[in-house]
Amino acid sequence: MLRRMLITHAESVAVVAVEDGELVVVRQHRSGAKGVTTELPSGKLDADEGPDEAVRRELAEECGLEARDWHRLGAFWAVPAYSTEFVHVYEAVGLSPAATAGNLDEDEELESGRVALDTALDELSDAVSIAALALWRERRDR
């Protein structure tokens, strides 16, 4: 009999924040990748919040930014073969420094930065970020 492991994971958010032809990213060490990855700002929902609140918190925590406008782009299962993680994707428009920067989680050490939008797919390291950017591009090109 085949046994499959299922990882129970909270829902999460990913932020596509583009300004002046650059994409906001975070670089952080990931154990599974055995090194530093380049990802979109993202994170799991806290127990008492929905995706609309979580996406704002994550952008402030990880990048010290806030946005004037937010657009929900869609959602998808991260890895449904073995995880319950459901990812909500948002676009952040009109970036400015956050009035109050949030605190990183205890296990987070990251650096925020920007990459050129035209080479972003070559720079992103994880499937969630690549899928989120694809959603953004598909909506933009409509």
Contact 139, 50 (CB under 8 A): no
Q: Active site includes 62?
A: no
pLDDT tens digit at each of 142 positions of the chain: 667 889 999 999 999 999 999 999 999 998 888 899 999 999 999 999 999 999 999 999 999 999 999 999 999 999 999 999 999 999 999 999 998 766 666 666 889 999 999 999 999 999 999 999 999 999 888 7
Of 58, 91, 106, 123, the catalytic one is 106
Question: pTM for this structure?
Answer: 0.91
Distances (CA, A) of 128 to 14, 43, 70, 84, 98: 8, 11, 19, 14, 24
Contact 111, 27 (CB under 8 A): yes
